[in-house]
Amino acid sequence: MDLDKTIETLKKNLDLFGLNHRCSKIELYRKYQQYKKTWKLDNFENMDEKLSASKKIDDAHKAYDFIKIHWNYLVFLKNKEDSYDRSIIIIVFIFLFIMMMAYMQTSANKRVRVAKQEAVNVHEANWAWTHGVSDSLVKMSKMNALDDFWGKVIIDTNQIVDLLTFWPHTLNRHDQNKIRQEILNGSPKHTVFPNEEYQRKKTTYITNRTLTIANDKVPNIIMEKINFFRNHYEMIFNFQFSNIYNNQKILSADFGSNVIIESKYFPHSNNDDSLWTKQPNYPILLEDFMEDCIKCGGGILFPDEKSKNELLCVFRFIVSLPYTTKEILFKGVGSPLDEVPINIKPYINKLKKEWSEKLPYRPMEWRKWKPIVLSN
């Protein structure tokens, strides 16, 4: 007898006792005894009923013996079904696990995108303007940072700030090249924001504002212009110390915590030539006029006419500041207690008024370059 016929016969015999292939031997024995008791000959009176009962009892004996002999087949059926059930459970578990991982990944990516966007919005005003790097390097660095966020549990999106390391703009060229190489190698330590994107459009006010009146103690301080970009503003200053006065001095300058200072050429007034100056090295006190001028980073401007004997020690530099810096100070101008403050609020008010008036006349792309200070 082949396997299929044997199994089919077993199921038919088990069905005779009202059982299935998952029954135990005790259950089979009890059902067998109960079946015999039900069809006992003494329970019937006429001969036909007794013959029918006798036949059923014979069938029960044969079925019981057949089941006992082929009991291993029932064990095989049980194991087969159990294995099938386990396979179903494993498949369902794997499916649920994949769904759970997909959900977690989607949620994490969404959380990272939201957190990163908030971080960019928070730090854009303070940091984006400080980094002049290529767009391709910026994109790669952002991807590295995004990869670094994956797997980190960020409950509060403000925690994203702790995972960002911004590129310090004070690094020398060697360190900058080193960081560039780290970014190219997939390092997530440095997240940079492009300078080029935010400096394509600007609003310039030429002020030529004299902040001091030169005398024996106070040098001439002039604010030449102020440029408003999307995320920052720039101011150009020049200092002029005269050799006629031997006591002109500046103690220091307070530009806030986030600042970039770059030196500029100082143009001659009567020709196209210019004089290169360095960043001011405070404090500036020119007791030995020419020597101290050079030490402090200034340039010597000689008179154009021989009849004039006045020499000037000049400084010219540009200061880049975030909009969070509302006021700057030149300290100790003439004396330790005297300060020369500059508040940019009047210029921002002027910018706000002119921006609204001129925007309808400008190309649509100008809306992208709207200074963030006007949105506050």
226, with CB counted inside 10 A (0-12, 13-18, 19+), is buried
314, with CB counted inside 10 A (0-12, 13-18, 19+), is buried
pLDDT tens for 164-175 read: 444 444 445 566
Contacts of 51 (CB under 8 A, 6+ apart): none
DSSP state of 185: T
Three-class SS of residue 43? helix
13, with CB counted inside 10 A (0-12, 13-18, 19+), is buried
Task: Give the pairing type, strands 312-322 and 299-301.
Answer: antiparallel
Tracing tokens 């390097």 back to the chain, one arrives at 137
pLDDT tens for 278-318 read: 889 999 999 899 899 999 999 998 876 554 678 899 999 98
Looking at residue 206, its pLDDT comes to 93
CA distance 138 to 61: 87
pLDDT tens for 168-194 read: 444 455 666 676 677 677 665 555 443
CA distance 318 to 225: 9
Q: What is the mean pLDDT of the chain?
A: 76
pTM, whole model, 2 decimals? 0.51
Tracing tokens 């997240």 back to the chain, one arrives at 191
The domain ranges of the chain are: 3-69, 96-196, 203-375
Looking at residue 150, its pLDDT comes to 46
Residue 375 has pLDDT above 70, yes or no: yes
Question: What is the CB-side half-sphere exposure of residue 119 using CA atoms within 13 A?
Answer: 25
Q: What is the mean pLDDT of residues 213-219?
A: 92
CA distance 155 to 114: 12
Residue 153 has pLDDT above 60, yes or no: no
The answer, yes or no, to whether the previous bond of 371 is cis (omega within 30 of 0) is no
The strand order across the sheet containing 327-331 reads 252-254, 327-331, 339-343
Name the residue type at position 210: T
* Structure tokens given for 281: 């090295």
98, with CB counted inside 10 A (0-12, 13-18, 19+), is exposed
In the chain, how long is the greatest CA-to-CA distance?
158
CA distances for 155 relative to 101, 112, 117, 148, 165, angstroms? 18, 11, 15, 16, 19
Residue 12 has pLDDT above 90, yes or no: no
DSSP state of 162: G
pLDDT tens for 323-338 read: 888 899 999 999 999 9
Element (H, E) at 178: helix 173-184
DSSP string, 3-20: HHHHHHHHHHHHHHTT--
**Taking the domain 3-69, which CATH number applies?**
1.10.287
